[in-house]
Amino acid sequence: MTTTPAPAERLAESPGLTACSLCAGETLGDLDPLPGGQLARLRILQAKGVARLTLSECLDECNRGDVVVARPTAAGRASGARPVWFQRLAGDRVTDALGAWLGGGGPGLAQPPAELDAHVIDRS
């Protein structure tokens, strides 16, 4: 019999997410129907055990709004994966896509869904 690890146990093996605490929710602003905005969505991903959320005071990308960085797991880093930076990542649709990708392993372990392509920041 296989048991599913509790969300807290899964977090240790989950990809990381870093979000700017100052601009989280900036993209949708007052139009966001979710109390707590994008930051609340990211906290939900953490509560589900999909990602370890870290808040930064500033990621120095203020003009891009809702900047989120997906960090690879140890296995992802071992495969050569680098963090993936996203801009204007707000709303249910893109957050659901982000969550599905991270749940599948994230950077280096799963192919990002097409819904996220337009949000990737080229850091090369």
**Which pLDDT does position 35 carry in this prediction?**
86
In sequence order, what are the beta bridge partners of 53?
Answer: 17
pLDDT band at 52 (very low <50, low <70, confident <90, very high): very high
Q: What are phi and psi of 52, to 5 degrees?
A: -90, 115
CA distance 103 to 15: 8
Percentage with pLDDT > 70 across the chain:
90
Best CA proximity match to 45, nearest among 102, 89, 122:
102
Q: Cα 22 to chain center, whole Å?
A: 16
Instruction: Inform me whether the pLDDT recorded for 19 exceeds 60.
Output: yes
pLDDT at 9: 57
Average pLDDT, the chain: 88
Q: Which of 13-27, 79-93, 106-120 has the lowest mean pLDDT?
A: 13-27
Q: How confident is the model at residue 3, as a pLDDT?
A: 44
- Domain segments of the chain: what residues? 7-121
Tell the CATH topology of 7-121: Glutaredoxin (3.40.30)
Q: How many CB atoms lie within 10 A of CB 100?
A: 15
**Confidence band for 11, pLDDT divided at 50, 70 and 90:** low
pLDDT attached to residue 107: 96
